[in-house]
Amino acid sequence: MRKKIALHWKIIIGMVLGVLYGLLASRLAWVEFTSDWIKPLGTIFVNLLKLIAVPLVFASLIKGVASLSDISKLSRIGGKTIAIYLISTVIAVSIGLILVNVVKPGDGFDKGSVSKTEQIEEGTNKKIAAAEEVKEEGPLQFLIDIVPTNIFESASNNRNMLQVIFFAILFGIAMVMLPNEKISHVKGFFNGINDIILQIVDMIMISAPYGVFALLAGLVVDFGASAELFIALAKYSATVIVGLLFMIFAVYPFILSVFTKVKYLDFFKGISPAQMLAFSTSSSAATLPVTMERCEEHIGVSEEVSSFVLPLGATINMDGTSLYQAVAAVFIAQAFSIDLDMGQQLTIVLTATLASIGAAAVPGAGMVMLVIVLGAIGVPTEGLALIFGVDRLLDMLRTVVNVTGDATVATVVASSEGQIREVAEEELMS
């Protein structure tokens, strides 16, 4: 019998071929052909993932909350989740700060090596303008933003995931409070929707190797020119990358080994397709349906936990983003020869934590929120131009960490609630 190739291998092959094709296409001047005929396939793939994100979060959260026997369990799981999310983010920022202060990638950095092309200038200005809008809001704006006035409007915009979560929890709680005979049809309806959407995730994942091929081919063709920039910024990029790798290979395995019985290798096998999608799409929100499916079916996290912890995590827990913001802020300060004292470093811990919570789970959002961190410590925002050219690659990597962090916390919460089942070897690999 022919042996089935595991999904993550197929995706890896798709990614490698995509990069190789992109390099070749840049050389052979197939850029237009790639933009016209290859890139759209990647866009369709990401659209499909985004398409099911809102219905999936909605149906699975309602199903999860409605199945709770008492609401106090929800507040316990919620409190625990938010506390662990905050702690992991603070750990990530601290690692970033320690690394950037030890390596000092910005000391003596030759700013002239990053020529300010029009594209960089324009991109930087856009990010600064987007951040200005965020800054003008009052201190309670984030609470106002969670409560929607029109759920259909919230559902139509991927950035409003917290509003969808809020409405789904409200809906689920009301279901728990009503007698069963009144809501049994609604319950059955959402259970059915949930199963259908998970089936759609499986169907979409069949095309994942082709999707990541197209995404990476398009990216390499677009960003081929930034290789020189990458070398100029190698020390900075390396500092961010070392920090991110440390999270994946040291911090999360440590957390899993202390708080759960799940072996890291099994966790890794289970979650790797979601990590690869995070890398290819640079968006935790687009990856969310796959993160949920992998956690439930391949790591064994109960649906009750994953349907609550993961959508929340995709929106508010961004360990990779916060680590990157700490490194980037200090790097820019060093490049501008600004000395940061202890108070300013602590401000970075606070603002990078908040900024990563506020960042939307879409490509490039972390850089917008970096403007706020820079503002808080008095470093010129024009400094963004220095790191703009390498941001996409770092975005891809930090999104992998964001998604892995969410999955780690889901596994920890599920273990502490006794809501994790053992998965068979075949389930891990499929």
Task: Give the interface with ligand ASP as residue ranges (CB under 6 A).
Answer: 282-284, 318, 321, 359, 361-366, 395, 398-399, 402
Give the shortest CB-403-to-ligand ASP separation in angstroms: 7
Main-chain dihedrals φ then ψ at residue 420, nearest 5 degrees: -130, 135
Between 302 and 381, CB nearer to ligand ASP: 381
Distance CA 123, CA 385 (A): 8
Q: 146 in helix, strand or coil? A: helix
Question: In angstroms, what is the minimal distance from the CB of 14 to ligand ASP?
Answer: 20
The pair of three-digit structure tokens given for residue 348, joined into one six-digit string: 């970075």
DSSP per residue, 301-327: B-HHHHHHHHHHHHHH--HHHHHHHHH
**Least Å from the CB of residue 338 to ligand ASP:** 24
In the complex with ligand ASP, the residue whose CB is nearer, 178 or 245, is 245
Tell me the closest approach of the beta carbon of residue 43 to ligand ASP, in angstroms. 16
Q: Which is nearer to ligand ASP, 315 or 334 (CB)?
A: 315
Q: Which long-range contacts (CB under 8 A, 24 or more apart) does 20-25 make?
A: 21/213, 21/217, 21/220, 22/216, 22/217, 22/218, 22/219, 22/220, 22/221, 22/224, 23/220, 23/224, 25/217, 25/220, 25/221
Cα separation, 353 vs 94, in Å, equals 10
Residue 211 beta carbon to ligand ASP: minimum distance, rounded to whole angstroms:
17
Closer of 172 and 363 to ligand ASP (Cβ) = 363
Minimum distance of ligand ASP from residue 362's CB (angstroms): 6
The Cβ of residue 420 has, within 10 Å, a number of other Cβ atoms equal to 22
CB of residue 240 to ligand ASP, shortest distance in Å: 11
Rounded distance between C-alpha atoms, residue 142 and residue 130, angstroms: 16
Least distance in angstroms from the C-beta of 321 to ligand ASP: 3
Please tell me the total number of residues recorded for the chain in this structure.
430
Residue closer to ligand ASP (CB basis): 26 or 399: 399
Per-position DSSP letters for 229-259, written without gaps between them: HHHHTHHHHHHHHHHHHHIIIIIHHHHHHHH
Q: Which residue number, 271 or 359, has a Cβ lying nearer to ligand ASP?
A: 359
Q: Least distance (Å) from ligand ASP to the CB of residue 398?
A: 5
Question: Smaller CB distance to ligand ASP: residue 345 or 356?
Answer: 356
Opening angle at CA 67, ends 63 and 70, nearest 5: 135
Which residue is nearest to ligand ASP, using beta carbons? Answer: 366
Select 6 or 130, whichever has its Cβ closest to ligand ASP: 130
Q: How far is the CB of 314 from ligand ASP (least distance, A)?
A: 7
Shortest Å, Cβ 324 to ligand ASP: 7
The residue (of 307 and 399) whose beta carbon lies closer to ligand ASP is 399
Helix (H) or strand (E) run with residue 140 in it: none
Task: Choose between 175 and 370: whose C-beta lies nearer to ligand ASP.
Answer: 370
Q: How many CB atoms neighbour CB 35 within 10 A?
A: 14
What is the C-alpha to C-alpha distance for residues 87 and 91, in angstroms, rounded to an integer?
6
The single-letter code of the amino acid at 82 is I
- If the CB atoms of residues 283 and 306 are measured against ligand ASP, the closer one turns out to be 283
User: How far is it between the farthest Cα atoms of the chain?
Assistant: 71
Contacts of residue 195, Cβ cutoff 8 Å, sequence gap at least 6: none
Separation of alpha carbons 240 and 245, rounded Å:
9
